[in-house]
Amino acid sequence: MELYSKGHRACAGCAEPIAVRAVLNEAGPNTIGVVCTGCLEVVSTGWPETAWEIPLIHAAFENAASVASGVEVALRKLGKKDTNVIAFGGDGGTFDIGFQALSGMLERGHNVKYICLDNEAYMNTGIQRCSSTPYGASTTTSPAGKYSIGENRPKKPIAAICASHDIPYTATATVAYIEDLRKKVRTALETEGPSFIHVLVPCPTGWRHPSDKTIEISRLAVETGIFVLWELKGSDFNNIKITKKIRNRKPVTEYLKTQGRFRHLFKPEIKQDVIDRIQKEVDEKCKRFGVDL
């Protein structure tokens, strides 16, 4: 049985349901889900329907981690320790408004598996800039214009920050590599204590790409080195494991060109300085992580 069922109201091509299905099918029915306010909650919980075949609780935007803390402790107290607790947060609910609650949950060592579904902006409210938004992306609150290249700050390194809490397991994943995602969920579930999995989920509406390109763009994010797939047990970054090393890494333009949010970098004229900076930062990151084969 699918634990995240069909009939939900996500946009065509949305990567979130793909990720959620993979996570839940790996976790199985003895799981309680916690979801923060955002696209996922809106498209899946409209009363009297629900897409969730597991018990689910949604409370507010910034607190999936603290609600999950309560669920996990209650289960422990009531002798139901074998039930998985999985929290789903969007990037807004994780990087920004829910950051404090997340940090608290990780620091306290709750046995909660936190899945961040990152589509790199506040998509539910209409594509506003978040600290997850990458440098150069145009959003409705960081629009490209005569005096603007779009978002002018780099993406917050959320997974590394979480790992720095010295939690047992941190990983990154994306929907093009679904087996990699499932394996990481499995590892998280098998590891006692908090885990954080950062999942890049392309958003056709916000990234402005055709809805049948979701998986392709997810794969390009990895093949260009924009998004590195890694996992780490503990907080010693020397032990980081790159789960998808890249041979002949593609130039970032191959990724950027697929999405309307970066169109202003190419039209009406090419903004080479911005593209060069993105490429340079990706090159440095890939070198640091040892991504290239």
Partner 1 sequence: MTKLTIRGNMATALGAKLCRPDVIPAYPITPSTLFPEKISEYIADGELDAEMIRVESEHSAMSACIGASAAGARVCTASASQGIALMSEMLFIAAGMRLPIVMAVGNRALSAPINIWCDHQDTISQRDTGWLQFYAEKNQEGLDLMIIAFKVCEDKRVLLPAMVGIDAFVLTHTIEAVDVPDQKLVDEFLPKYEPELRLDPEKPMTFGSFGTPEFYQEFKYMQTEAMEKAREVIDEVFAEFKKKFGREYRKITPYKCEDADVIILTMGSMSGTARAAVNKMREEGKKVGCCKLTVYRPFPAKEIVELTKNAKVVAVLDRDISPGFGGALYGEVSAAFVNEEKHPFITNYIIGLGGRDILIEDFEWIYERSMDVIKKGRVEKPVQWVNLNEEVL
Closest to partner 1 by CB, 137 vs 158, is 158
By beta-carbon proximity to partner 1, the closer residue of 78 and 293 is: 78
H/E stretch holding 84 = strand 84-90
Q: Give CA separation, 268 vs 57, 138, 265, 277, in Å.
A: 47, 15, 8, 19
What is the x/- site pattern for partner 1, positions 23-42, by CB under 8 A? Answer: ------xxxx-x------xx
The interface region with partner 1, picked from 54-62, 147-155, 246-254, 285-293 by CB under 8 A, is 54-62
Map tokens 């009297």 to a residue.
Answer: 48
Per the CB < 8 A criterion, the answer to whether 56 and 81 are in contact is: no
Span near partner 1 by CB under 8 A; candidates 104-112, 152-160, 170-178, 267-275: 104-112
**Helix (H) or strand (E) segment spanning residue 148:** strand 148-149
Minimum CB distance to partner 1, residue 61 (Å): 9
φ, ψ at 242 (rounded to 5°): -80, 115
How many residues bind partner 1 (CB under 8 A)? The answer is 44
Report the relative pairing of strands 148-149 and 144-145 from DSSP bridges. antiparallel
Cα 101-102-103 angle, rounded to 5 deg = 95
- Is residue 12 within the footprint of partner 1 (CB under 8 A)? no
Region of 102-110, 224-232, 237-245, 272-280 interacting with partner 1 (CB under 8 A): 102-110
Give contact residues for partner 1 (rule: CB under 8 A).
29-32, 34, 41-42, 45-48, 50, 52-60, 62-63, 65-78, 83, 100-101, 103-104, 107-108
